[in-house]
A and B are shown apart, each in its own frame.
Chain A
Amino acid sequence: MDRTQALLNCLYHEAELLDEGRYREWLALLAEDVRYRVPVRVTKERGPEGGLSGVMEGMYHLDEDYTSLEMRVARLETGFAWAEDPPSRLRHFVTNVRIGEPRPTPKGEESEVRSNLLIFRSRWDRPDYTFLSAERRDIWRREEGGWRLACRTVILDSTTLPTHNLSFFF
């Protein structure tokens, strides 16, 4: 299988794991030194050169490493994580995938992968739902046993979040 197809498969497989709440399997897709961040976004004027506006360096909605992501998963397993029990019905739509050139690093071959993400979220028996739109800027690394997510920055398209918590993963 070529590199592009392998990475696409990774993204789709990951989305399936997140949609189905198979979080231990999802953790297995992460590199041990993973950096996982969702910066706060604010409204800003257009810069002279365009580009993304208002992605803040100083504050995040999530700033995680493997240990803290594992903690969030372990919490869901306690039976007392009310934010996701009953679980949200989530659907991760992954599109506009852009795969960069492979790059050798001391830790293995790495590739930048950008994708657009739309998350649908529905809870309880209410007919209403939430959408969150974002771009994911990933670095995937080829390790023994397959590709692992080494770094993810999620560029949200909301400033004020339209949902009552971020109890799920992007």
Chain B
Amino acid sequence: MARVKTGLSPRLSRMLEELQEGVEDGLVPAWIFNDPELFELEKERIFSRSWVYLAHESEIPKPGDYVLRYVLDNPYILVRGEDGVVRALLDMCRHRGMRVCRAELGNASHFRCPFHGWTYRNDGRLIGVPAEREAFGQDLNKEEWGLVPIPRLEAFDGMIFGNLDPGAPSLEEWLGDIRWYLELVTKRSPQGLEVLGPPQRWVVNTDWKLALETFLSDSYHTLMTHRSLIELGIAPKDAKYAMYGEQIHIPGKGHGSMVVGAPPGAKLPPFWGYPEEMLERARTSYPTREQFETARETRILLVTLFPNFSFHNPIRKPDHKYQGAVPMLTFRVWHPLGPGRIEIFSWALVEKDAPEWFKEKTRLSYLRFFGSSGTFEQDDTEIWSHVAHNAATPQGRHLRFNYRMGLKLEPDPNWPGPGVAYGLNFTDANMRNFHRRYLEMLLA
């Protein structure tokens, strides 16, 4: 691994060396979860160079449909033009910088700036300048004054990502082998996914890496953090239920997945508990037989993409008295707002061709357990905020957290999917892999 390079303050260099020394040994200093100087470096070297999830194509199906999304605090209008092409345009008038979009979502043929009236088509071209001849004569070349598109915009199976770095590798290369795991969800049906409405948005005083870790590798927290749901019979009776699965990371990429089956002796329906007709469609929809067979044995699936996207797809039901299973799917962006502060964007999604009764019930399975009021997630956000607070205290910041779980595990040679897999999900392997990638980007 590269040595900490110059160009960083002596303080930050010293701190990153400490992190670098600790990662392979599973020792991570608390301060990485709440430090203003480090946050500035994360903005510059991670979020300005990574593929960041913006939207699902089903949010903007028709020409003119748009949603407002952010990369760092840069506001982007993600809009489908009359030509059907999706663009991400910086929501900032080229004339004097006012926002030209006054809604979080909608449909528009053009965006008109309320400041001086410059008007742009929904493909970003400047088409109207009030009193153009009197004000600018013949000298304004409108082609040079369109809304600024995001440097890179690419999609994978309906998932739209943006990147601020014009020289970034392609999204396909960025994702690499994690695509196999994304496809367990994106290709479960030949029709693909659709969002169930706009995202819930809320703020939490925590670090984006703490939130992400819960979805990337921390199967171990479920037995205590979510014990209330075990008591209510929502989560399996065996408190170690999240242990019975595979944890997989993609070396060099930072991405990871957890694929959890049924605890021994537990009678859980196959294929997350999705309706039989969806299982039958999946049989031919998945690109490979291995993916179908993996999906059939899966009850909980999580995928996290470096740096700040996760999805969670567990077997569930709308409430504790409901008979039968209704799985749910949520997409997440852990949007960094500042040191020790994030905004969560949380969507519910479902297969487009799922039966209507199922779409209604899966929405409820999501709302009761995840999202802003979710009975699992309530306890996560409570705990994350205290950890981030402690991580900034003068004594607490020097504590080194224990990321040694599963340090001696050997990879599972029989796992059918790509990446490095461990046959026991109680491990910090995915997070150690994330920290390696995190350091690599911070130091490069």
Interface positions of A (Cβ within 8 A of B): 38, 40, 42-45, 54, 56-65, 67-68, 71-72, 74-75, 78-84, 159-167
Residue pairs across A and B with Cβ atoms less than 8 A apart, 12 shown, are A60-B367, A67-B321, A71-B321, A75-B229, A78-B231, A81-B379, A160-B343, A161-B372, A163-B202, A164-B202, A165-B382, A167-B373
Chain A hits for B378, CB < 8 A: 81-84, 165-167
Which of the candidate stretches B102-110, B267-275, B426-434 sits at the interface with the other chain? B102-110
Q: Does B294 contact A (CB under 8 A)?
A: no
Which of the candidate stretches B40-48, B166-174, B192-200, B397-405 sits at the interface with the other chain? B192-200
Q: Does B225 contact A (CB under 8 A)?
A: yes
Given contacts A43-B102, A82-B383, A159-B201, contact A62 B232 (CB under 8 A): no
B319 and A68 form a contact (CB under 8 A): yes
Complex Cα distance A65/B101, Å?
37
Which of B224, B320, B348, B372 is most buried by chain A, counting CB atoms within 10 A of its CB? B372
Q: How far is the CB of B100 from chain A (nearest CB, A)?
A: 12
Nearest opposing residue in chain B for A83, CB measure: B378
B377 and A40 form a contact (CB under 8 A): no
Q: Does B318 contact A (CB under 8 A)?
A: yes
Chain A hits for B104, CB < 8 A: 42-44, 54, 159
Q: Does B13 contact A (CB under 8 A)?
A: no
Which of B103, B206, B372, B375 has a CB less than 8 Å from the CB of A72? B375
Nearest opposing residue in chain B for A162, CB measure: B203
Chain A hits for B319, CB < 8 A: 65, 67-68, 71
A68 and B198 form a contact (CB under 8 A): no
Dominant secondary structure of chain B at its interface with chain A: mixed
Chain A hits for B348, CB < 8 A: 59
Q: Does B371 contact A (CB under 8 A)?
A: yes
B375 and A75 form a contact (CB under 8 A): yes
Nearest opposing residue in chain A for B348, CB measure: A59
Complex Cα distance A62/B363, Å?
11
What interface size band does chain B fall in? 35 or more
Chain B hits for A67, CB < 8 A: 319-321
Report the number of A-B residue pairs with Cβ-Cβ less than 8 Å: 126
Q: How far is the CB of B340 from chain A (nearest CB, A)?
A: 12
Chain B hits for A164, CB < 8 A: 202-206, 381-382, 385
Given contacts A59-B197, A164-B381, A165-B373, contact A68 B368 (CB under 8 A): yes
Complex Cα distance A75/B377, Å?
13
Q: Does B364 contact A (CB under 8 A)?
A: yes
Interface positions of B (Cβ within 8 A of A): 102-106, 196-206, 224-225, 227-229, 231-232, 318-321, 343, 348, 363-364, 367-368, 371-373, 375, 377-379, 381-383, 385
Complex Cα distance A63/B367, Å?
7
Q: How far is the CB of B193 from chain A (nearest CB, A)?
A: 15
Given contacts A44-B106, A75-B228, A75-B229, contact A161 B320 (CB under 8 A): no
Complex Cα distance A166/B232, Å?
19
Given contacts A68-B368, A74-B320, contact A58 B227 (CB under 8 A): no
Chain B hits for A64, CB < 8 A: 368
Q: How far is the CB of B324 from chain A (nearest CB, A)?
A: 14
Q: How far is the CB of A9 from chain B (nearest CB, A)?
A: 28
Nearest opposing residue in chain B for A74, CB measure: B232
Q: How far is the CB of B101 from chain A (nearest CB, A)?
A: 9
Nearest opposing residue in chain B for A63, CB measure: B367
Chain B hits for A82, CB < 8 A: 225, 378-379, 382-383
Complex Cα distance A1/B93, Å?
61
Nearest opposing residue in chain A for B229, CB measure: A75
B228 and A61 form a contact (CB under 8 A): no
A45 and B106 form a contact (CB under 8 A): yes
A78 and B379 form a contact (CB under 8 A): no
A59 and B198 form a contact (CB under 8 A): yes
Complex Cα distance A109/B174, Å?
62
Chain B hits for A78, CB < 8 A: 227-228, 231-232
Chain B hits for A71, CB < 8 A: 232, 319-321, 368, 375
Chain B hits for A62, CB < 8 A: 367, 373
Complex Cα distance A120/B321, Å?
32
Which of B343, B367, B377 is most buried by chain A, counting CB atoms within 10 A of its CB? B367
Given contacts A43-B104, A54-B104, contact A61 B198 (CB under 8 A): no
Complex Cα distance A79/B224, Å?
11
A61 and B371 form a contact (CB under 8 A): yes
Chain A hits for B367, CB < 8 A: 60-63
Which of A54, A68, A80, A160 has a CB less than 8 Å from the CB of B201? A160
Complex Cα distance A118/B203, Å?
19
A68 and B382 form a contact (CB under 8 A): no
Complex Cα distance A59/B198, Å?
6
Nearest opposing residue in chain B for A37, CB measure: B367
Chain A hits for B381, CB < 8 A: 83, 164-165
Given contacts A58-B198, A59-B348, A61-B371, contact A68 B318 (CB under 8 A): yes
Which of A67, A75, A79 is most buried by chain B, counting CB atoms within 10 A of its CB? A75
Nearest opposing residue in chain B for A165, CB measure: B378
Chain A hits for B383, CB < 8 A: 82
A161 and B203 form a contact (CB under 8 A): yes
Complex Cα distance A63/B197, Å?
13
Chain A hits for B368, CB < 8 A: 64, 68, 71-72
Chain A hits for B371, CB < 8 A: 61
B377 and A61 form a contact (CB under 8 A): no
Q: How far is the CB of A10 from chain B (nearest CB, A)?
A: 24
Q: How far is the CB of B188 from chain A (nearest CB, A)?
A: 22
Nearest opposing residue in chain B for A69, CB measure: B319
Known pairs A68-B319, A161-B200. 17 more at Cβ < 8 A? A42-B104, A42-B198, A43-B104, A44-B103, A56-B198, A58-B196, A67-B320, A68-B368, A74-B320, A75-B229, A78-B231, A80-B224, A81-B228, A81-B379, A82-B383, A163-B202, A166-B373
